[in-house]
Amino acid sequence: MLNALRGGQSSVRFVTGFMTVVLHVLPTKDFSRNGCNKSAGDAHLVEYSVAALGPFQAQTCLIQRTYFNKCFRIKSGTSNEISRLYDPFLKKTQRRMTTCLCMPTQVLACPATDAAVINSLEVVIGGNEKLFQCRADDNPLVNIPTLGSLRGSQMVSASGRKFNAFRGIRYAQPPVGDLRFSDPIPAKPWAEILDATKEGPACLQVDLLTKVHVGQEDCLVLNVYSGKVGVSENPLPVMVWIHGGGFTTGSGGSETDFYGPGYILDRDVVLVTLNYRLGSFGFLSTEDKEAPGNYGLLDQSLALKWVRDHIHHFGGDTDSITIFGESAGGASVEYQVLSPRSKGLFHRAIAQSGSTRCPWAHQKSMGEYTRILAKDVNCPTTSSKELLRCLRTKDVKEILDSKLKMGLPVGLGLYPVAFVPRVDAEREFPFLPDTPERLVANKQFNQVPYIGGLTENEGGLFAASLATVDGVGMKEFKKDPVKNVLYALAMENQKGGLQIAQKVYDHYFSNVKTDADIISQYGELSSDVEFFKCVDDSVKALSQHNESPVFYYHYAHRGQTSLVKILDLPKDSDFGVSHADEILLMFPNFLLPRISNPNDLKVSQMLLDLWTSFAKDGIPQSEHVVDKWLPTTHGKVRYLQIEADNPKLVNDSMPFQSKLAFWNSLLTAGKEEL
């Protein structure tokens, strides 16, 4: 479109699903008195004529177009003098002193055509406060017979492949009012063409770093990215990403989180990302039938059902769906594997740095935390029905703030966790009818090929929370170090928990002399019990009882960047190959530039090869890995060492195995069930 305008045409007319738009380019020099900054790129004055509004009205704004990593970044300003009413048919122009209302916007992915520069501009037409999204005819349109039609946008992958993006698709009804703290209900069909060009909001949460409220309660949406549109004779494998964040933070978005599609869509797969309810909104429970909890996991399961039922309309293969996730997303993947509610909804699973057995991934004392929250917001606690009736009327801010007032330690990464998954045997059709240990031992789980694994220094991210320049984390830890260990173990309400925490503190911290020693040992503690032991236990148990292969990996690539670098840390801080570092090579995100380091590029390609080949046929392989990745089996542990220089299959126990003897003896002596 802009090419035609630059080629000498003074105007171009096109028809969208909503309106007819006539674009006019006028010389920039004619508009020296305006509020738009035109110093950083070639500027075009574009006049919009919208025929669908009745009286022909147009708004005129200066669009500044600049380039950023070969992608467009668009900014729009305001003008007090250049707006006009325009009748394109009568060739008459009326000048009117009004404000040109162009909403600021930004495109984070490369648009497929120049028209996308115009398409991404939102315009308030004629001052009537109705927001329109202008878009070109080449934007993809999908019709789902049982739901409705939706129009997406086009994006470009890291290597320049065009693909289709359908974002902000509602898969469940808004979980508000009486549906708060309730099982999700499938979304209703829609009549008009759904605008699927933007991501939906994140679910309600408190930002871990800023403590600012983020997101909305009406958040149950998913995003579909595919190189195809419509039912295909050769459908693509589907990969469904479940985000992490300790079941308290995060989203499936590329603009609100870390999960852009640009790297994975270099491969022939369909990628789906999703939101699910978090914190108390996703996991609060009264420990009875009134509120069994696990709503966030049920959200995930309903999203998977949506994918199974509808992904063929986006070129996806309904018989080849792989779920994958990291941290709490990895634990969520395993929960879906264990749940009878998700039987038949997927065919393969990848759990990165997370397990149902990790201390932060389950909670036995949910009822007590629910009552604490209810009291804090002045709700009755004598009856579950009355408690829920009251909580459903409360403003979301009150509920979010309450989590910060519950007397729990703060400033230590993901710890502690009050509202997370639990055994919900009270539910008529439980999501998790028994403990993960017993479900696996009794082979009561979905028998699918499985990949599980860890990074070399998982606890580095959490040790970094003690090392920030402001010193908040360290001060919090020093107030009561044993109590902090107690909460890190999720044993605050367990009989004998304090004695166990004291033994753990003595084991890890008895010889510390400096803050640097504390930080180092806290990283060791976090790695060992929060990730190494629980993931190792899960992989070994699944390999013993799963009729499908179980693959194990150890991620040891030290990349150019790390997630810990988003924290305000002293210069030259080094926390090794930390938690979540691998996802930076799997997903482009808004915080970091694209991968450019040769070793990072190699490992990124390796990860994407392994994961997408597994999604295709259950056999993980890459041209960058010479060894065949063999599964681990009962009595024979083997894992793939993922690194740039020498990726290889190791026929031995994990490097951290010797450190787990302490935990095996300690927790065997005092273990309680989930």
CATH code, domain carrying 316: 3.40.50.1820
CA distances from 230 to 61, 310, 311, 328 (A): 37, 10, 9, 33
Long-range contacts of 429-435 (CB under 8 A, 24+ apart): 429/340, 429/341, 430/292, 430/340, 430/341, 431/294, 431/297, 431/298, 431/301, 431/335, 431/339, 431/341, 432/294, 432/297, 432/335, 432/338, 432/339, 433/340, 435/673, 435/674
Among candidates 385, 378, 328, which has minimal Cα distance to 353? Answer: 328
- Whether 581 maps to a domain, the answer reads no
Domain identity same for 233 and 370? yes
Kindly report, residue by residue over 288-330, the tens digit of the pLDDT: 999 999 999 999 999 999 999 999 999 999 999 999 999 999 9
Domain identity same for 60 and 34? yes
> Which 3 state secondary structure label does DSSP give 92?
strand
| Catalytic residue check, 120 | no
Last residue of a domain, one of 426, 455, 484: 455
For 534-647, strand residue ranges (E) read 550-555, 639-642
Q: Which of 310, 557, 579, 622 is catalytic?
A: 579
Tokens of 381: 């606690």
- List the domain range (segments joined by +) for residue 77: 2-133
Domain identity same for 123 and 185? no
Kindly report, residue by residue over 382-417, the tens digit of the pLDDT: 999 999 999 999 999 999 988 666 655 544 444 557
Task: Give the amino acid at 491.
Answer: M
- At residue 352, does pLDDT exceed 90? yes
Give the pLDDT confidence score for residue 487 in this predicted structure: 84
Domain identity same for 83 and 127? yes
- Whether 373 maps to a domain, the answer reads yes
Residue 463: is it exposed, middle or buried by C-beta count within 10 angstroms (0-12/13-18/19+)? buried
Q: Whole-model pTM above 0.85?
A: no
Give the pLDDT confidence score for residue 416 in this predicted structure: 56
- Whether 558 maps to a domain, the answer reads no
Domain identity same for 149 and 25? no
DSSP 578-605: BTTGGGGGTS--TTSPPP-SHHHHHHHH
- At residue 167, does pLDDT exceed 60? yes
- At residue 662, does pLDDT exceed 60? yes
Domain identity same for 207 and 284? yes
Q: Which of 458, 492, 524, 582 is catalytic?
A: 458
Domain identity same for 310 and 223? yes
Domain identity same for 46 and 107? yes
Q: For 536-549, what is the mean pLDDT?
A: 97
User: 472 falls in which pLDDT band (50, 70, 90)?
Assistant: confident
Tokens of 41: 């790129």
User: 668 falls in which pLDDT band (50, 70, 90)?
Assistant: confident
Domain identity same for 116 and 152? no
User: 256 falls in which pLDDT band (50, 70, 90)?
Assistant: low
Angle at 402 between CA 400 and CA 408, to 5 degrees: 115
Pairing of strands 148-151, 194-195: parallel
Last residue of a domain, one of 425, 455, 485: 455
- Whether 647 maps to a domain, the answer reads no
Kindly report, residue by residue over 209-242, the tens digit of the pLDDT: 677 899 999 999 999 999 999 999 999 999 999 9
- Whether 624 maps to a domain, the answer reads no
Domains of the chain: total: 2
Domain identity same for 319 and 204? yes
Q: Which residues contact 613 (CB under 8 A, 6 or more apart)?
A: 619, 620, 621, 622
Give the pLDDT confidence score for residue 407 in this predicted structure: 53
| Catalytic residue check, 634 | no
Domain identity same for 56 and 155? no
Domain identity same for 149 and 120? no
Cβ(415)–Cβ(463) below 8 Å = no
| Catalytic residue check, 579 | yes
**Which run of H or E residues covers position 356?**
none
- Whether 481 maps to a domain, the answer reads no
Q: Which of 49, 76, 327, 402 is catalytic?
A: 327
- Whether 450 maps to a domain, the answer reads yes
